[in-house]
Structure 1
Amino acid sequence: MREARYYKKLDGKNIQCQLCPKSCIVSPGQRGYCRVRENRDGVYHTLVYGRLCTINLDPIEKKPLFHFLPGTTAVSVATAGCNVQCKFCQNWNIAQVKPEDIPFEYLSPEALVSLTKSQQSPTIAFTYNEPTIFIEYILDTAALAKQRGVHSVMISNGFIQKQPLLDLCKVLSAYKVDFKAFSEKFYSEVVSGSMKPVLDTMVRIKEQGVWLEIVNLVIPTQNDDRNSLRELSRWVVNNLGTDTPVHFTRFYPHYQMNNLPPTPTRTLETAYEIAREAGIQYVYIGNVPPNKKENTYCPYCGSLLIERAGFSVISNKIVDGKCSVCQAKIPGIWR
Structure 2
Amino acid sequence: MTKHHPAQYWHMLDDGRLQCDLCPRDCRLHEGQRGLCFVRMRQQDAMVLTTYGRSSGFCIDPIEKKPLSHFYPGSSALSFGTAGCNLACKFCQNWDISKSHEMDTLADAARPERIAQAAAQHGCRSVAFTYNDPVIFAEYAMDVADACHAMDIQTVAVTAGYLHDHPRRAFFAKMDAANVDLKGFTDEFYVKLCGARLSPILDTLLYLKHETQVWLEITTLLIPTLNDSTQEITRLCEWIMNELGPDVPLHFTAFHPDYKLGDLPATPASTLHHARHIARQTGLHYVYTGNIIDIEGGTTYCPSCQKPVVVRDWHALLTYDIDANGCCAHCQTPLQGRFSSGEKPFGRRRIPIHIADYSTDL
Output the amino acid matched with 2:259: Y
2:335 maps to 1:326:
no
The aligned counterpart of 1:56 is: 59
Task: Measure, in 2, the Cα distance between the counterparts of 1:97 and 1:293.
Answer: 33
Q: 2:216 aligns with which of 192, 212, 236?
A: 212
Task: Measure, in 1, the Cα distance between the counterparts of 2:196 and 2:131.
Answer: 18
Say if 1:136 and 1:99 are closer, same or farther in 2 by CA, change over 3 A: farther
2:295 maps to 1:298:
no
- Name the SS of the counterpart of 1:285 in structure 2: strand
Task: Measure, in 2, the Cα distance between the counterparts of 1:95 and 1:209.
Answer: 28
Task: Measure, in 1, the Cα distance between the counterparts of 2:181 and 2:66.
Answer: 10
The aligned counterpart of 1:15 is: 18
The answer (yes or no) to whether the contact 2:57–2:106 under 8 Å persists in 1 is no
Q: Deviations over 1:72-107 (max 9, x none)?
A: 110001100000111111111110022525242210
Output the amino acid matched with 2:300: T
- CA drift of 1:162 comes to 1.0
The answer (yes or no) to whether the contact 2:253–2:291 under 8 Å persists in 1 is yes
Q: 1:129 aligns with which of 119, 128, 132?
A: 132
Output the amino acid matched with 1:227: Q
The aligned counterpart of 1:255 is: 259
Q: 2:37 aligns with which of 34, 37, 40?
A: 34
The answer (yes or no) to whether the contact 2:295–2:311 under 8 Å persists in 1 is no
The aligned counterpart of 2:169 is: 166
Task: Measure, in 2, the Cα distance between the counterparts of 1:171 and 1:198.
Answer: 19
Task: Measure, in 2, the Cα distance between the counterparts of 1:99 and 1:163.
Answer: 30
- CA drift of 1:291 comes to 2.4
Q: Provide the TM-score with structure 2 as the length reference.
A: 0.91
Identity within the alignment, %: 39
Output the amino acid matched with 2:337: G
- CA drift of 1:324 comes to 0.8
Number of residue equivalences: 335
The answer (yes or no) to whether the contact 1:48–1:99 under 8 Å persists in 2 is no
Q: Provide the TM-score with structure 1 as the length reference.
A: 0.98
Task: Measure, in 2, the Cα distance between the counterparts of 1:101 and 1:225.
Answer: 41
- CA drift of 1:12 comes to 5.3
The aligned counterpart of 2:348 is: none
Output the amino acid matched with 1:316: Y
Moved over 6 A (4+): none
Q: How does 1:132-211 map to 2 (within 5 A)?
A: 132-207=135-210, 208-211=212-215
- CA drift of 1:10 comes to 2.1
Q: Deviations over 1:231-263 (max 9, x none)?
A: 100100111110000010111111111111111
Question: Per chain length, whose mean CA-contact separation is higher, i.e. which structure has more relative contact order (CA < 8 Å, sep 6+)?
Answer: 2
The answer (yes or no) to whether the contact 1:47–1:99 under 8 Å persists in 2 is no
- Name the SS of the counterpart of 1:318 in structure 2: coil
- Name the SS of the counterpart of 1:224 in structure 2: coil
CA RMSD of aligned residues (A): 1.0
Q: 2:243 aligns with which of 227, 239, 242?
A: 239
Q: 2:68 aligns with which of 65, 69, 72?
A: 65
The aligned counterpart of 1:313 is: 317
The answer (yes or no) to whether the contact 1:13–1:28 under 8 Å persists in 2 is no
The answer (yes or no) to whether the contact 1:142–1:171 under 8 Å persists in 2 is yes
- Name the SS of the counterpart of 1:228 in structure 2: helix
Gaps of 5+ in 1: none
